[in-house]
Structure 1
Amino acid sequence: MTTLVAEPFDGSLAQRLAGQEAADACFYWLGQAGFLLAFAGRRILIDPYLSDSLAEKYRGKAFSHERMMPAPISTAELGKVDVVLVTHHHTDHMDPATLAPIAATNPDCRFVVPRASLDEAQRRIGVGHERLIALDAGENFAPFDGVHVTVIRAAHEALERSAEGWHRFLGYVVQVGAAKLYHSGDTIPFDGLVEEVEAHAPDIALLPVNGRRAELTAAGIAGNLTLSEAIDLAGAIGAGHMIGHHYGMFAFNTAPAEAIDQAAAAHTCRPQIHRARTGVEYRIF
């Protein structure tokens, strides 16, 4: 059984990464749906949003995208990045101001993207197709020894497909050594999701908890799992731990931190509930 220990650390994330042992298996929250996973000297990013590009794009408009929290690290401080997993084309997940600098400073880094968004990914990241790994739900990718990625469907708020039938929204089950992490991407519950993920026996579920509201949906801003839906999903797929994220970034589309903490304290059975936090190293044993 996988053990997850959340250890707060002093100093910056950049300092923590600089002093990290090569054999560590751990991960860090980058804000919103972003995570950095370190394993055997490799670094994998999932949906990093480390810029202010959305604040600039929507300044003065109906829904301000000013950051509620600073980025815990800059792209220049990330060091060597081996693989980036992108779940879908929304800018807080596929951010050109984050991904293009990572690509420029890491010429060997590859980017896993939805096949439905391949051309958009190439435009935003600024790399050739040879550095993009275009996948669809049900497919697999093994970037290096000890790491295996399986692609899962996601519904943000619908199971959308391209004209070719490829899914626009994805999640990933990432196996690192003996542990499996499920990052759902942006999703709501849908028929077949539990069975699809449960078959891969994830130990840790990284799930959004900001929910959905009719006024945002009407404005074209798709929603996610509610906190209670995320807890139910984590339990149904057999995960031992759930990390609630996708909160605390944009004031119009977040969840109260205290509500996540209260749910974590009240939930005394599996899965163990955690609120994603910066300044914390999540160590996997």
Structure 2
Amino acid sequence: MTPPSSMPFLESPFSEPLAERLRAAARGVRLYWLGQAGFVILTSRFRIAIDPYLSDSLAEKYKGKRFEHDRMMPAPIAPSELGPVDLVLVTHQHTDHMDPQTLVPIAEANPDCRFLLPRAALGAAQERIGVQSERLVPIDAGESVEPLPGFTVSAIRAAHETLERTPEGWHRFLGYVVATDGVRLYHSGDTIPHEGLVEEVAPFRVDLALLPVNGRRAELTEAGIAGNLTLDEACLLADRIGAPDMIAHHYGMFAFNTECPEAIDTKSESADCRVRLHRAKLSVEYRLSRAG
């Protein structure tokens, strides 16, 4: 069963390199998956990246360790090839979301680009990105900002796997509701279900939910590797917040912490999936537009 929606959602494969595709004029709001939790959003005016991880920094860090972080998929684009990035949204400071080897080249190639991130991660951002403080936009759960004209970001609490706060009371993990060009997107960041999450997101009446589906495993939690929503939990969350469409992501990057692509595809066809479920894929354009 899928809900009705007045928001056209188009999923179109393309064969050219992503860098070339990004040079085309934007029509509606377009999204491209970068792998893991990363996306590029193109609007009629701006180019925004969310949690881009486009390096091998974690493979280098964990080489020879119990859970090696070798990529299962190549980066679809180099950070310097993303083009004129106006804003980067960072949900938390784990390296696959706040990667210096990705963010520093973006900052250097785009002197006017700013970085929106949890206030709790401000110190880490200053160290890893190395930009002046005026290029950093700190935010905490419950706050909304307009970092670009007509582009609003509202911060939502996330539990990865717990609702952690700093001594100052700032939330370490966030999700974001983005509103632009008549479209509302929810990127949950890394999270598991927690009390109040549905009630926080549902009033925004989002058109599309971008949710992780790699789940959580006891052996990883014991090793300090926090987990995420399972596939079933993500579909249920999307349904409960009223999102007609959901893109499942945060899979296919690290072999020890992923979800089977076939399981996502099977779920999308099952009768108990009450949202239109799309598996994040490279070389696919996702487009939404009120005007169609």
Give the TM-score normalised by the residue count of structure 1: 0.98
Q: Distance in 2 between matches of 1:175 and 1:189?
A: 23
Q: 2:71 aligns with which of 67, 72, 75?
A: 67
State whether structure 2 residue 42 is matched by structure 1 residue 12: no
The residue type paired with residue 69 of structure 1 is M
Give how far 1:2 is off. Answer: 1.4
State whether structure 2 residue 133 is matched by structure 1 residue 129: yes
Q: Answer yes or no: is the 8 Å Cα contact 1:24–1:41 preserved in 2.
A: no
Q: Answer yes or no: is the 8 Å Cα contact 2:90–2:116 preserved in 1.
A: yes
* Structure 1 residues 267 and 12: CA distance shift in structure 2, 3 A: farther
Give how far 1:270 is off. Answer: 3.9
Give how far 1:195 is off. Answer: 0.4
Residues 161-172 of structure 1 aligned to structure 2 (within 5 Å): 161-172=165-176
Give deviations 1:54-82, integer Å, cap 9, x for gaps: 00000011101000000111112111000
Give how far 1:177 is off. Answer: 1.2
Give how far 1:268 is off. Answer: 7.0
* Alignment-derived partner of residue 173 in structure 1: 177
Give how far 1:146 is off. Answer: 2.8
* Alignment-derived partner of residue 3 in structure 2: none
Say which SS state the counterpart of residue 266 (structure 1) adopts: coil
Q: Distance in 2 between matches of 1:135 and 1:3?
A: 31
Cα RMSD of the aligned pairs, angstroms, is: 1.0
The residue type paired with residue 7 of structure 1 is S
Q: Distance in 2 between matches of 1:267 and 1:98?
A: 40
Any stretches of 5+ residues in structure 2 without a counterpart? 1-5
* Alignment-derived partner of residue 278 in structure 1: 282
The residue type paired with residue 101 of structure 2 is A
Q: Answer yes or no: is the 8 Å Cα contact 1:148–1:174 preserved in 2.
A: yes
The residue type paired with residue 46 of structure 1 is I
Q: 2:259 aligns with which of 251, 255, 259?
A: 255
Give deviations 1:139-188, integer Å, cap 9, x for gaps: 11112233211000000000000010000000000012111000000000
User: Which portions of structure 1, spanning 4 or more consecutive aligned residues, are displaced by more than 3 angstroms?
Assistant: 267-270
Q: Distance in 2 between matches of 1:254 and 1:242?
A: 18
State whether structure 2 residue 184 is matched by structure 1 residue 184: no
Give how far 1:235 is off. Answer: 0.1
State whether structure 2 residue 3 is matched by structure 1 residue 3: no
Give how far 1:267 is off. Answer: 4.3
Any stretches of 5+ residues in structure 1 without a counterpart? none
Say which SS state the counterpart of residue 119 (structure 1) adopts: helix
Q: 1:141 aligns with which of 138, 141, 145?
A: 145
Q: Answer yes or no: is the 8 Å Cα contact 1:267–1:273 preserved in 2.
A: no
The residue type paired with residue 265 of structure 2 is D
Q: 2:201 aligns with which of 197, 202, 209?
A: 197
Q: Answer yes or no: is the 8 Å Cα contact 2:28–2:181 preserved in 1.
A: no
Q: Distance in 2 between matches of 1:43 and 1:145?
A: 13
Give how far 1:23 is off. Answer: 4.4
Q: Alignment length, in residue pairs?
A: 284
Q: Answer yes or no: is the 8 Å Cα contact 1:42–1:81 preserved in 2.
A: yes
The residue type paired with residue 51 of structure 1 is S
Give the TM-score normalised by the residue count of structure 2: 0.95
Say which SS state the counterpart of residue 269 (structure 2) adopts: helix
Say which SS state the counterpart of residue 229 (structure 1) adopts: helix
Q: Answer yes or no: is the 8 Å Cα contact 2:213–2:250 preserved in 1.
A: yes
Q: Distance in 2 between matches of 1:283 and 1:240?
A: 14
* Structure 1 residues 267 and 10: CA distance shift in structure 2, 3 A: farther
* Structure 1 residues 24 and 199: CA distance shift in structure 2, 3 A: closer
The residue type paired with residue 200 of structure 1 is F
Residues 191-230 of structure 1 aligned to structure 2 (within 5 Å): 191-230=195-234
Give deviations 1:198-218, integer Å, cap 9, x for gaps: 011111000000000000000
State whether structure 2 residue 167 is matched by structure 1 residue 154: no
Say which SS state the counterpart of residue 182 (structure 1) adopts: strand
Give how far 1:250 is off. Answer: 0.2
State whether structure 2 residue 58 is matched by structure 1 residue 54: yes
Say which SS state the counterpart of residue 199 (structure 1) adopts: helix
* Alignment-derived partner of residue 102 in structure 2: 98
State whether structure 2 residue 90 is matched by structure 1 residue 86: yes
